Amino acid sequence: MTAIEKIKTDIGIMAMAQKLGLDIDHRNGKVTVNCPNCDDTGKHLTLYEGSNRFYCFKCQVKGDQIDLYSLFTGNSPKTAIAELLPAGIHITPPTGQNAHKQPVIKPVPAKTTLQDYTGLFYEVIANQDITQAGRDYLNKRGITDALILKYSITSIDDPKAFANKLQAKYPLDDLLGSGLFDYSKNGKTYCSFFYPAIIFPHWAMDYPRITYLSTRNLAGEAKSFKLHNTHSQPFPGNEAQHSKQIFIFEGIINALSYEVLTGKENFIAICGLITPESFDALKLKFPNQKLILGLDPDDAGKQALSRIESCTYINWTGFAAELGFKGLQHHPNGKAWDLNDYLINKRG
């Protein structure tokens, strides 16, 4: 057994983190610490107990237990090994023809900037089509073929084949870094989009670039998936940047329903709930435009709204009237209609 093998057998990645006295966070089944390589304060470095590896989702630094020790102590791997070897153990240096086969410790890479995955997203979408199941799902909800084409909306029927295709085509580091793949609790990699789903490319406002991908799932327990370990990006309508007022919607189906209903493209869809923080970020991004919140007229929407100071809220009653409805409409169970309900029922 070599020195490296001896250390790796004796000290797992979790034990190494404890030995280093790291401030460990356990959240959503993940074990994370702040990464010293990128002056991280958001716990982007994830430890994987199953594979005894680590990976920083901010600067992409990665490695095993010994690399972790080097990273946090600033010592070279050689010094790290000397320090980590238990006293009294004599390791014979490799000799003979097998010497070169000894495992080599990769040096910790220098600081890297956040990588740009827009090209990867573009290729994924370009190589993907809308399937009949995806088209049926959207058409049934009033989303037209013209919009499917306009936003390059695609779908996956077979998530396994989708994952295999990505793995055959792209380096795992890129798939992990982009958030299309992630590590499971036991250290295995998997595709973040693992249900049959519609895939929405989020186009940048300024030029044809895809900044993000999200799904609406056609099966499975979760309604939608986002990319993992990365900040979600908005889904803007074509005219969002050049309009005096921008409607902010929760969810892309709602936003697309708005476009079908009104023919207008002055919207931004957010994946998930609008928080005071995300609303502030939007205000900073669009200082000269009026932002109108189009939260669903239900309790969750009202609750979210109550936490956001000084904002304009969509006039749902007026909106319903414009579409020919007498006041706000509700489902039999009392839940208020969302934009897609108005679209479906207006057409019906």
Q: Report if residue 320 touches Zn ion, rule: CB under 5 A.
A: no
Q: Least Å distance between CB 74 and Zn ion?
A: 15
Residue partners of 50: CB distance under 8 A and separation at least 6: 185, 186, 187, 188
Q: Report if residue 38 touches Zn ion, rule: CB under 5 A.
A: yes
Q: Report if residue 33 touches Zn ion, rule: CB under 5 A.
A: no
Q: Least Å distance between CB 222 and Zn ion?
A: 28
Q: Report if residue 8 touches Zn ion, rule: CB under 5 A.
A: no
CB 15 within 8 A of CB 7: no
Question: Which two structure tokens, joined as six digits, stand for 156?
Answer: 């996956």
Q: Which of 7, 13, 97, 21 is nearest to 55 (CA)?
A: 13
Applying CB under 5 A, which of residues 7, 17, 33, 35 lies at the interface with Zn ion?
A: 35
| Number of residues engaging Zn ion in binding (CB under 5 A) | 7
Q: Which of 119, 258, 257, 131 is nearest to 201 (CA)?
A: 119
Candidate ranges 49-57, 240-248, 290-298, 309-317; the one touching Zn ion (CB under 5 A) = 49-57
Closer CB to Zn ion, 64 or 296, in the complex: 64
Closer CB to Zn ion, 37 or 155, in the complex: 37
Q: How far apart are CA 267 and CA 256, in angstroms?
A: 9
Q: Report if residue 314 touches Zn ion, rule: CB under 5 A.
A: no
Q: Report if residue 229 touches Zn ion, rule: CB under 5 A.
A: no
Q: Least Å distance between CB 13 and Zn ion?
A: 16
Q: How far apart are CA 90 and CA 6, in angstroms?
A: 11
Q: To the nearest 10°, the Cα dihedral for 130, 134, 140, 141? A: -90
Closer CB to Zn ion, 63 or 77, in the complex: 63
Q: How far apart are CA 329 and CA 100, in angstroms?
A: 74
Closer CB to Zn ion, 54 or 342, in the complex: 54
Residue 16 CA to chain centroid, in angstroms? 29
Q: Report if residue 56 touches Zn ion, rule: CB under 5 A.
A: yes
Q: Least Å distance between CB 39 and Zn ion?
A: 8
Applying CB under 5 A, which of residues 8, 43, 53, 58 lies at the interface with Zn ion?
A: 58
Q: Least Å distance between CB 172 and Zn ion?
A: 18
Q: Which of 45, 70, 72 is nearest to 56 (CA)?
A: 45
Q: Least Å distance between CB 27 and Zn ion?
A: 17
Q: Least Å distance between CB 272 and Zn ion?
A: 25
Place of tokens 């079908």: 260
Looking at residues 59 to 118 of the shown chain, list those that interact with Zn ion (rule: CB under 5 A). Answer: 59
Closer CB to Zn ion, 41 or 97, in the complex: 41
Q: To the nearest 10°, the Cα dihedral for 251, 252, 256, 261? A: 0
Closer CB to Zn ion, 71 or 191, in the complex: 71
Q: How far apart are CA 134 and CA 90, in angstroms?
A: 63
Applying CB under 5 A, which of residues 4, 11, 37, 196 lies at the interface with Zn ion?
A: 37
Q: Residues 70-78: contacts with CB within 8 Å, 24+ apart? A: 70/108, 71/36, 71/37, 71/108, 72/20, 72/22, 72/36, 73/20, 77/105, 77/107
Q: Least Å distance between CB 298 and Zn ion?
A: 40
Residues at the interface with Zn ion (CB under 5 A): 35, 37-38, 40, 56, 58-59
